[in-house]
Structure 1
């Protein structure tokens, strides 16, 4: 049964520019907000009951990270956007889960869209959009569902002597982007292992019924990962080249480290893409070889029985003047001749290395 495809863009039809429309697949997700407010000598980790509780962090001298889970809560996203003076187009991009990774630079804040990648327990790739807003002393993150790849960042924030506690919001943005990119390595490694396993199956001639589906599925995964990773080069490049007051010049070198990682990942994805095409060619070649083997056996069998059928046909005709027709050993002589022809052809085929 063919899987029904959904069109996320239909939700934008007849909507005015800047309208906030949730395009994800979790319309019943609960709103969950947690926050880290910290400085060199203190840290407060809070679970907020409403978006209004997040408004006070904008005016503090400490650095704050406010993480909002539940993009289906449009009204709450609008409240956050209004308080933090976010452009309506930014809010629309936050709710649009099919948004391409990008960066928008404004006077008071920087907006970044990225994709979090991970494999579930069945090794199916999952892609979740995350939007980040960098302000003077805060970072806002918007996620579709609860659960992310930032546990390591949270642990570093809880450490009293951690570097992240002594630096500003721009370093926090770097740490969050770096956590996302680092998780790409896990996805890349898993994908590489899956490709190598399929290569081993093909080299060993183990053609399973669903092998073509596995190759096609891997091809789609590589393309999804490629679309998620490649735009990050442009994002980091713009951060490095843009002399924005929100980015401390001392933090630029950290972003350069992310750029190096993205280049390395991009090269790996390109290699995997070529390997997938090679797998498809190898699969078709293997199938063709197996078909040739079958045709070879059938051709040899037909070649053996053609002269035997010819002899049997001659002696099956109803004529009185056929030699040895009434000879009592004719039947046995015929069998001896046919067996000798059979063995002679088998010997000839083996000598020619066709068998």
Structure 2
């Protein structure tokens, strides 16, 4: 039977031919073909921000494993990366980058893996689910995208698609950090702290995504022996490459984390240097005006037996003495490097 869609829900069904090429089909053909073992199929369903009770009631009609139903029926923001293996099926939930990569929310893909059928639920918001699927559709329907024409091959191709997106974002961030580092080498004042903080936030988000993707791949590799829902017999190399890729991304992220920390340290050092320079100027001004204030205070007492006050040139001599004193002190501070 066909899978009835809820209002605004998108259900997309695909078959896989023996050459590894995908074609669109109906949900009825996909379910019937998978049940009879006549081919391999992939069904993708939007599991967006709709009401949990509504989604749970709809999922109950699909006769899915109860554990899988309990995970998918929860609000998408509660999903977390995990792999659970059953005798006839396996559940894999993996985090991936949103279509708008600067978005702060998390998106996940939950995959129910059966011997001839892969059913995926994506938690992307409705506002971007269409654009994300359009990109994914073009990718999956390309030639030689599937390592094997099986449901497990489709799963690895989907994971590779999202891992490649994470890897590209990581490389873009690395290029951006190197550019900021180059600018700071020329003039630290040309970089604001907001640029460094944004880079750090982006890095932490990418690192979290890469770690969870690596966690999912390693768990899938180990879960294969306990379930009929996964078949990586001819996919060991492809799975190993994906694990190596995510591990390399983690190492790159850790190196970038050190670089970003160094950028922040250099920025804070520059700010401290500016503060110290201003304090040095204030110290010089205080030191210069201290003797001038002393002279003014003494002469301001205006005692009658102060002979210099009775001199016709006393005022000019006092000003001259103050100027000489101030100039001498400024020259001394300059020679001592206080203005460097």
Question: Shorter-chain TM-score category?
Answer: 0.7 to 0.9
**Structure 1 residue 139 and structure 2 residue 99: aligned?**
no
The Cα of 1:43 is off from its aligned counterpart by 4.9
**Could you say which residue in structure 2 is the equivalent of 1:154?**
137
**Residue 119 to residue 332, structure 1, CA distance change in 2 (3 Å):** farther
**Residue 268 to residue 118, structure 1, CA distance change in 2 (3 Å):** farther
**Structure 1 residue 232 and structure 2 residue 213: aligned?**
yes
Work out the CA distance in 2 between the residues paired with 1:240 and 1:219: 32
**Residue 222 to residue 165, structure 1, CA distance change in 2 (3 Å):** closer
Q: Which digits, 9 at most, give the CA deviation of each residue in 1:62-118, with x for residues without a partner? A: 22111111332644565446535322x322322342322111111122211111214
- SS where residue 30 of structure 1 aligns? coil
**Residue 107 to residue 277, structure 1, CA distance change in 2 (3 Å):** same
Work out the CA distance in 2 between the residues paired with 1:300 and 1:79: 77
Aligned with residue 111 of structure 1, among 71, 91, 103? 91
The Cα of 1:279 is off from its aligned counterpart by 3.4
- SS where residue 111 of structure 1 aligns? strand
The Cα of 1:191 is off from its aligned counterpart by 2.8
Q: Greater relative contact order (Cα 8 A, min sep 6): structure 1 or 2?
A: 2
The Cα of 1:270 is off from its aligned counterpart by 1.4
Gaps of 5+ in 2: 1-5
**Could you say which residue in structure 2 is the equivalent of 1:348?**
332
Work out the CA distance in 2 between the residues paired with 1:36 and 1:347: 83
User: Does structure 1 conserve the Cα–Cα contact (< 8 Å) formed by 2:84 and 2:90?
Assistant: yes
Please, what is the CA RMSD of the aligned residues?
3.1
TM-score (norm 1): 0.78
**Structure 1 residue 182 and structure 2 residue 164: aligned?**
yes
Work out the CA distance in 1 between the residues paired with 2:196 and 2:139: 40
**Could you say which residue in structure 2 is the equivalent of 1:13?**
none
- SS where residue 277 of structure 1 aligns? helix
Gaps of 5+ in 1: 1-27
**Structure 1 residue 59 and structure 2 residue 23: aligned?**
no
TM-score (norm 2): 0.81
Higher helix share: 2
User: Does structure 2 conserve the Cα–Cα contact (< 8 Å) formed by 1:118 and 1:187?
Assistant: no
**Structure 1 residue 92 and structure 2 residue 70: aligned?**
yes
* Higher alpha-carbon deviation: 134-143 or 96-105: 96-105
**Could you say which residue in structure 1 is the equivalent of 2:3?**
none
The 5 Å alignment of 1:311-350 reads 311-350=295-334
Work out the CA distance in 1 between the residues paired with 2:181 and 2:145: 44
**Structure 1 residue 45 and structure 2 residue 38: aligned?**
no
The Cα of 1:185 is off from its aligned counterpart by 1.2
**Could you say which residue in structure 1 is the equivalent of 2:255?**
271
User: Does structure 2 conserve the Cα–Cα contact (< 8 Å) formed by 1:229 and 1:266?
Assistant: yes
Work out the CA distance in 2 between the residues paired with 1:252 and 1:78: 38
Work out the CA distance in 2 between the residues paired with 1:93 and 1:132: 11
